[in-house]
Amino acid sequence: MKSNNAPPPQYVINDSLHQLFDAVDAVSVQGYDENRQVIYWNFGSELLYGYTQEEATGQKLEDLIIPESIRELVVAAHSDWITKGIEIPASEITLRHKNGSDVNVFSSHVLFTNQHNKKQMYCIDVNLADVKHAQSQALFNEHMLEAIIRAIPDLYFLMEVDGTIIDYHSGDHKNNYLVPNQVIGKRIAETLPDEIVSKFQINIDKVINKEGMVTFEYELNMPNGLAYFEARISYLSEYNQIMTIIRDISEQYKSAEIIRNKAYFDTLTSLPNRFLALDRLSQMLTESERDNEKLAIFFLDLDDFKKINDSLGHGVGDKILIKAAKRLKKILREGDTVGRLGGDEFIILLRGIINEHDALVIAEKLLKTFREPFLIDGRELILTFSVGIAISPENGNCASDLLRNADIAMYEAKSLGRNTYSFFTKEMNTVMLRRFEVEEQMHGALERNEFELYYQPQFDVKSGSIIGAEALLRWHNESLGNITPDEFIPIAEQTGLIVSIGKYVIKQALRFLNTWQKNNQTEYTMAVNLSPRQFRDLQLVSVIKKSLLDENIKASNLEIEITEGVLMSGQSYIHDALIEINALGITLSMDDFGTGYSSLSYLREYAFDVLKIDQSFIHGIPMNKADCNLVKATIAMAHSLGLSVVAEGVETQEQLTLLDEFDCDLVQGYFFSKPVPEMQLLDFSNSYKLSP
């Protein structure tokens, strides 16, 4: 019957050995862990000491059978064997029975490390009350120790100091390099390869001079392949002999190798990961400086990879990354490195670069290679890279500087239209430093009340009256001064800060609209721009609904302006949000019409109410016939679809006159008013109302 206090698996040895102990009633065998707690207690121990297995398991040696007078000595001796390797000698000793009576025994001990690297001590106690019984068990004691050796997978052999093997034991002959009859009586130099013999000799010299124990590792070609071993050697000075214990650590080595691979290599592509790639970059920089050579680093980012993940799934995305990694490896020369930094970012390290032209040739080859489609799950997918290139030492002498500058150059390649490369320049660094400053200051700008809404009024072309305004965001920072929307809006988009800023714009614009309508007793409209990133906010529609309710504004008085860029991704969440916005009765306007590629199809697909013609077309209508005809045709087309038309950027009377002739509905621009703060708009609308 097993105890409820059974030891955990890491303290259990071979079941067959336990079965051997269990079969012997006449000898007490106890097993203790590193803390002297009982992990094994055979029936012979129950008979000798009176404690059952259930009572003993988990208890400490000194609390069970050690008299008070020798308790400290026993604890110290066990500790010295565990920590210092000082063995406990076999001896006669008086121990204690459960009932308090003395038990005279001859006690032997063995200490070994199990497969879980835990030390275990087994005590074999023979009751000296019956000498004949003790003598018979002495033979068993020898057999039992042999059984322990057989149960342990380690290999033991004893050598003379000259390397002659005089005894040899192994629990598992199947994995031995040589069997006992092939090695006993021979010198170690005759049984092992020269390089391993050399390791043994070096460490034998160490252990003879210093005594104690020495540990070292070596590898050996076995019939089943390369194996790894740990050798522990001790000098038995009394006998002038060397005791050696050999343990097969192949499994541990393989596990450690797996851990090393995970630490240094990307699990998906098997390329060097960021840590290893940058470490190699540092080594290559040292070598290039020593050899007076140049080094190029390519920072690669897959173009529109997010769209692939979103539309086709991450499984397809992973397959693309794997195939992209293979193509990159084929392009490189021997000695170059390609690594994966993470996500869809890769790095290429090129040594021995003479000038920019060498890097350019490889960049062109890289782009050309990726023009061939990827065949993934029956689909042909075109994948392109944007590549940033930095060269050492011109663009940096350390890994971090080169990586940063190549990253900056990559963003320049993105801005050039993607599927291209760009070399780093100092001007790029100035631009990026400015970007970092703007991004840093943008964090907390809302809390510091640095944002303010300006409003540009909109006018009815026929009546000349103000019908509403467009809300435009302005930012003034104490450190940077005035930052234009063209500069800070893209950064807000990329960082995700546009979501919180967008909520502020909606609430502030509707708050002012409430004030404006009450002040002039007129129902005005308020146009607010929404960016693509805002549509990913699940709270967008609820924020709009709550703001309308809080400010008591009719949904029809709010106009949401979106550009074609919002619609181009084709994401379902954008479609769903636009459906909800339209269902509320909010006016939907397409902004900057004419600057995209598919505007007409979007007008047909979504329930737009207003079309805004970009100011770049309005500017040229008085003198450019093509612009004039385009604007006229656009207005006619919009009216045929039931849409109102707003002309942006009206600056002259001549432009206004032509737009009136074309039946344009609404206009806004500097001819009437620049964007102004809310108090100025209140004053302007009051005076304009009195004197149109």
Look at strands 385-392 and 294-302 and give their pairing. Answer: antiparallel
| CATH code 3.30.450.20 for 9-150 | yes
CB 598 within 8 A of CB 568: yes
Q: How far is the C-alpha of 154 from the C-alpha of 238, rounded, in Å?
A: 24
Q: Closest Cα partner for 499 from 442, 584, 432, 433?
A: 442
Q: Give the list of residues 6+ apart from residue 683 with CB closer than 8 angstroms, or none.
A: none
> Is this prediction's pTM over 0.85?
no
CATH value of 155-255 in 3.90.1300.10, 3.40.50.300, 3.20.20.140, 3.30.450.20 = 3.30.450.20
pLDDT average, residue stretch 644-662? 95
pLDDT in tens, 144-186: 656 655 656 677 778 888 888 887 777 655 556 566 666 788 8
Three-state secondary-structure class, residue 562: strand
Q: How far is the C-alpha of 206 from the C-alpha of 210, rounded, in Å?
A: 6
Token pair for residue 253? 């080595």
Provide the pLDDT confidence category of residue 218 given band limits of 50, 70 and 90.
confident
CATH value of 265-424 in 3.30.70.270, 3.40.630.40, 2.40.50.140, 3.30.360.10 = 3.30.70.270
Token pair for residue 377? 């799950």
Q: How far is the C-alpha of 469 from the C-alpha of 689, rounded, in Å?
A: 15
Three-state secondary-structure class, residue 390: strand
pLDDT at 233 over 60: yes
Token pair for residue 311? 């539309």
Q: Give the list of residues 6+ apart from residue 85 with CB closer than 8 angstroms, or none.
A: 212, 213, 234
| pLDDT value of position 670 | 95
| pLDDT value of position 144 | 64
In this structure, of 10-19, 279-288, 318-327, 547-556, the range with the lowest mean pLDDT score is: 10-19
Q: Closest Cα partner for 385 from 371, 404, 406?
A: 371
| pLDDT value of position 72 | 93
pLDDT at 11 over 70: no
| pLDDT value of position 259 | 61
Q: How far is the C-alpha of 638 from the C-alpha of 655, rounded, in Å?
A: 19
| pLDDT value of position 15 | 58
Q: How far is the C-alpha of 530 from the C-alpha of 577, rounded, in Å?
A: 12
Q: How far is the C-alpha of 339 from the C-alpha of 325, rounded, in Å?
A: 8
Range 124-131 contact pairs with CB under 8 angstroms and sequence separation of 24 or more:
124/27, 124/28, 124/29, 125/27, 125/28, 125/29, 125/30, 125/45, 125/48, 125/95, 126/27, 126/28, 127/26, 127/28, 127/48, 127/103, 128/92, 128/104, 129/104
pLDDT in tens, 22-78: 777 778 999 999 999 999 999 999 999 999 999 999 999 999 999 999 999 999 999
pLDDT at 635 over 50: yes
In this structure, of 328-332, 472-476, 582-586, the range with the lowest mean pLDDT score is: 328-332
DSSP-assigned letter for residue 134: H
Provide the pLDDT confidence category of residue 16 given band limits of 50, 70 and 90.
low
Q: How far is the C-alpha of 81 from the C-alpha of 87, rounded, in Å?
A: 5
pLDDT at 638 over 70: yes
Q: How far is the C-alpha of 414 from the C-alpha of 301, rounded, in Å?
A: 9
Q: How far is the C-alpha of 95 from the C-alpha of 104, rounded, in Å?
A: 6
Owner of token pair 């103000």: 466
Provide the pLDDT confidence category of residue 3 given band limits of 50, 70 and 90.
very low
Phi, psi angle pair for 595, to nearest 5°: -95, -10
Q: How far is the C-alpha of 544 from the C-alpha of 588, rounded, in Å?
A: 13
Phi, psi angle pair for 353, to nearest 5°: -80, 130
Q: How far is the C-alpha of 39 from the C-alpha of 343, rounded, in Å?
A: 50
Q: Give the list of residues 6+ apart from residue 520 with CB closer than 8 angstroms, or none.
A: 682, 685, 686, 689
Provide the pLDDT confidence category of residue 190 given band limits of 50, 70 and 90.
confident
Neighbours of 223 (CB within 10 A): 8
| pLDDT value of position 595 | 62
Q: How far is the C-alpha of 411 from the C-alpha of 299, rounded, in Å?
A: 10
Owner of token pair 């100025």: 680
User: Domain 439-685's class?
Assistant: alpha beta
pLDDT at 9 over 70: no
CB 507 within 8 A of CB 480: no
Q: Give the list of residues 6+ apart from residue 60 with CB closer than 8 angstroms, or none.
A: 35, 36, 37, 38
| pLDDT value of position 461 | 95
List C-alpha distances in Å: 164 to 1, 197, 267, 295. 48, 12, 48, 55
Three-state secondary-structure class, residue 492: helix
List C-alpha distances in Å: 575 to 51, 279, 460, 532. 77, 46, 31, 12
CB 389 within 8 A of CB 300: no
Q: How far is the C-alpha of 328 from the C-alpha of 117, rounded, in Å?
A: 44
Neighbours of 687 (CB within 10 A): 10
pLDDT in tens, 336-349: 889 998 888 999 99
Domain borders along the chain are: 9-150, 155-255, 265-424, 439-685
Full DSSP string of 39-72: EEE-HHHHHHH---HHHHTT-BHHHHT--GGGHH
Radius of gyration of the chain (CA): 42
Q: How far is the C-alpha of 49 from the C-alpha of 96, rounded, in Å?
A: 7
pLDDT at 505 over 90: yes
Q: What is the mean pLDDT of the chain?
A: 85
pLDDT in tens, 404-433: 889 988 988 887 888 888 888 877 767 777
Q: How far is the C-alpha of 204 from the C-alpha of 198, rounded, in Å?
A: 10
- List the beta bridge partners of residue 319: none
Owner of token pair 């409003």: 455
| pLDDT value of position 647 | 95
In this structure, of 162-171, 380-389, 399-408, 565-574, the range with the lowest mean pLDDT score is: 565-574
Look at strands 345-353 and 294-302 and give their pairing. Answer: antiparallel
Look at strands 558-562 and 587-593 and give their pairing. Answer: parallel
Look at strands 345-353 and 374-376 and give their pairing. Answer: unpaired
| pLDDT value of position 159 | 84
Q: Do domains 155-255 and 439-685 have the same CATH topology?
A: no
Q: Closest Cα partner for 35 from 80, 87, 79, 88?
A: 79
Please state the separation of Cα 24 from the chain's center in Å.
Answer: 57
Q: How far is the C-alpha of 673 from the C-alpha of 651, rounded, in Å?
A: 9
Provide the pLDDT confidence category of residue 442 given band limits of 50, 70 and 90.
very high
Q: How far is the C-alpha of 523 from the C-alpha of 468, rounded, in Å?
A: 8
Q: How many DSSP H helices and E strands does the chain contain?
A: 25, 27
Residue type for 35, please?
Answer: N
Q: How far is the C-alpha of 676 from the C-alpha of 659, rounded, in Å?
A: 24
Full DSSP string of 260-306: HHHHHB-TTT-SB-HHHHHHHHHHHHHHHHHTT-EEEEEEEEETTHH
Q: Give the list of residues 6+ apart from residue 637 with CB closer than 8 angstroms, or none.
A: none
pLDDT at 82 over 60: yes
DSSP-assigned letter for residue 334: T
Please state the separation of Cα 367 from the chain's center in Å.
Answer: 28
pLDDT in tens, 289-312: 888 888 999 999 988 888 777 777
Q: How far is the C-alpha of 41 from the C-alpha of 54, rounded, in Å?
A: 9
pLDDT at 600 over 80: no
In this structure, of 31-35, 165-169, 620-624, 640-644, the range with the lowest mean pLDDT score is: 165-169
Beta strands in 114-205 (DSSP E): 119-127, 155-160, 165-170
